[in-house]
Amino acid sequence: MISTASVREDGQVVELAWKDGASARFHAMWLRDNALDDKTRSPGNGQRLVTILDIPRETVVRHAAIDGGDLAIQFGPEGKDVRFPSRWLRDHAYDRQQARSNGWLAGGVKAWTKATMQDAVPRASYADVKKSPAALARWLGAVRDHGFAVMDGLPAESGGLCKVVDLFGFIRETNYGRWFEVRAEVNPTNLAYTNLGLQAHTDNPYRDPVPTLQVLACIDNTVEGGESSVVDGFAVAEALKEESPEGFRLLSSCPARFEYAGSAGVRLRAKRPMIELGPDGEMIAIRFNNRSLAPVVDVGFDDMPAYYAAYRRFAELIEDERFEVTFRLQPGEAFIVDNTRVMHARKAFSGTGSRWLQGCYADKDGLLSTVAALEEVARA
């Protein structure tokens, strides 16, 4: 609950204090632009009905009062009365220290290692998440927070993996199809279609936008080897930063280049860093794939040796067992990875027996939206 509201700086600023001792200042212009009344925001869909150009440049707060726990404001020169709930203001306060060191992780994101994750792999059965919104919210929440999860109880048949995506969103179709086969081939267009081991990697870094989710589902698996593993790219990037701030700086401040030209008519190229930070330094994406890394040409000559040393060290850490969580997919099982964070790998497998996986891509917008909506309903 707000305890006091004071108008400052000729109405440019309102200073609020809450009963628990917290305080925050808000600018008149910010408050006006974010007003919650039904002339500013559509009551039906919540969209803003005015543009910044509809709001007078000389907007001030004429007076501010506390009324039933709400902040009641009159804006000049419009003479417009608006109320803001105490909780809403508290949740949207921006009057705080903003500076954080590069590579910070958003709230909720939990970096993990083998020690913390090998025995705690998020897992659900398809039947459970299908019938229980709470179970679905937990499973999707694990993907949001940990960047991967396993699902079992899927039909071990072609296309069964689409059921996973149907739970929260839509398949991202690509030149590989709506989904693609991951089976050993004699003349593969992609090295994934062999029985070689694959170093931990993110998929399709040569695509912009990159597919932000990947599902890999098992239909058949009787080979020796071929286990799947996952590595938290954020945890590895944090470890690199700890050891070598300069290496972290180079991999996050120099774009890399990725390319795939494995079949006729396809010339996919992207220019993005291996470690991507938002403009405020938040760690937002990892791209790592030795197969499709193109010549890196956006690093200065003098920095190139240190860039390569950082890339090598990043690769060593990615291979370090302490980051690797391993499991063996059985028919009817699938896993999903946040392809902007969690790398996946495959152990080599023998030619006897068969191993048939299918993969598909999807995007995080739908997953994050669905879990947010489910959690909102659960809280209500």
Q: Which of residues 59-78 bind a copy of itself (CB under 8 A)?
A: none
Tokens representing 205 are 């870094």
- Can residue 298 be called a binding residue for a copy of itself (CB under 8 A)? yes
Which residues on neighbouring strands pair with residue 277, listed in sequence order?
283
Q: Cα(363)–Cα(368) distance, rounded to whole angstroms? A: 9
What does 145-182 look like in DSSP terms, one character per residue?
A: HHSEEEEE---SSTTTTHHHHHTTS-B--BTTBSSEEE
Shorter beta-carbon distance to a copy of itself: residue 221 or 229: 229
Tokens 């709930």 — which residue?
Answer: 85
Task: Kindly state the smallest distance separating residue 124's Cβ from a copy of itself, in Å.
Answer: 19
Query: Which residue of 278, 322, 351, 354 would you call a contact of a copy of itself, by CB under 8 A?
Result: 278
- Can residue 10 be called a binding residue for a copy of itself (CB under 8 A)? no
Query: Which residue of 10, 20, 21, 53 would you call a contact of a copy of itself, by CB under 8 A?
Result: 53
C-alpha 104: how far from chain center: 14
Candidate segments 216-224, 232-240, 254-262, 351-359, binder of a copy of itself by CB under 8 A: 254-262
Q: Is the peptide bond before 77 cis (omega within 30 degrees of 0)?
A: yes
Strands (E), 247-354: 256-260, 268-272, 275-277, 283-286, 324-327, 334-338, 342-346
Query: Which residue of 188, 245, 351, 353 would you call a contact of a copy of itself, by CB under 8 A?
Result: 188
Task: Kindly state the smallest distance separating residue 84's Cβ from a copy of itself, in Å.
Answer: 11
Q: Cα(84)–Cα(37) distance, rounded to whole angstroms? A: 9
Shorter beta-carbon distance to a copy of itself: residue 220 or 375: 375
Q: Is 372 left (phi over 0), alpha (psi -120 to 50) or beta?
A: alpha
Query: Which residue of 22, 52, 115, 120 would you call a contact of a copy of itself, by CB under 8 A?
Result: 52
Tokens representing 44 are 């039906």
C-alpha 7: how far from chain center: 39
Q: What is the H or E stretch that residue 220 is in?
A: strand 213-221
Query: Which residue of 78, 128, 246, 259 would you call a contact of a copy of itself, by CB under 8 A?
Result: 259
Candidate segments 50-58, 123-131, 143-151, 233-241, binder of a copy of itself by CB under 8 A: 50-58
Task: Kindly state the smallest distance separating residue 343's Cβ from a copy of itself, in Å.
Answer: 13
Handedness of CA 230, 145, 211, 371 (dihedral sign): positive
Candidate segments 61-69, 189-197, 231-239, 330-338, binder of a copy of itself by CB under 8 A: 189-197
- For a copy of itself, the binding residues in 190-249 under the rule CB under 8 A are 190-191, 199, 207-210, 212
- For a copy of itself, the binding residues in 87-116 under the rule CB under 8 A are 92-96, 98
Candidate segments 136-144, 152-160, 346-354, 366-374, binder of a copy of itself by CB under 8 A: 366-374
- For a copy of itself, the binding residues in 117-146 under the rule CB under 8 A are none
- Can residue 369 be called a binding residue for a copy of itself (CB under 8 A)? yes
- The size of the interface with a copy of itself (CB under 8 A), counted in residues, is 97
Query: Which residue of 67, 166, 243, 280 would you call a contact of a copy of itself, by CB under 8 A?
Result: 280
Task: Kindly state the smallest distance separating residue 312's Cβ from a copy of itself, in Å.
Answer: 5
In the chain, the amino acid numbered 300 is G
Reduced to 3 states (helix: H, G, I; strand: E, B; else coil), residue 251 is helix
The CA–CA distances, whole Å, from 176 to 187, 190, 263, 267, 363 equal 16, 10, 10, 13, 16
Query: Which residue of 189, 222, 350, 354 would you call a contact of a copy of itself, by CB under 8 A?
Result: 189
Shorter beta-carbon distance to a copy of itself: residue 159 or 353: 159
Query: Which residue of 244, 291, 331, 348 would you call a contact of a copy of itself, by CB under 8 A?
Result: 291
The CA–CA distances, whole Å, from 260 to 184, 196, 267, 289 equal 19, 19, 6, 11
- Can residue 170 be called a binding residue for a copy of itself (CB under 8 A)? yes
Nearest to 233 by CA among 146, 108, 125: 146
- Can residue 379 be called a binding residue for a copy of itself (CB under 8 A)? no
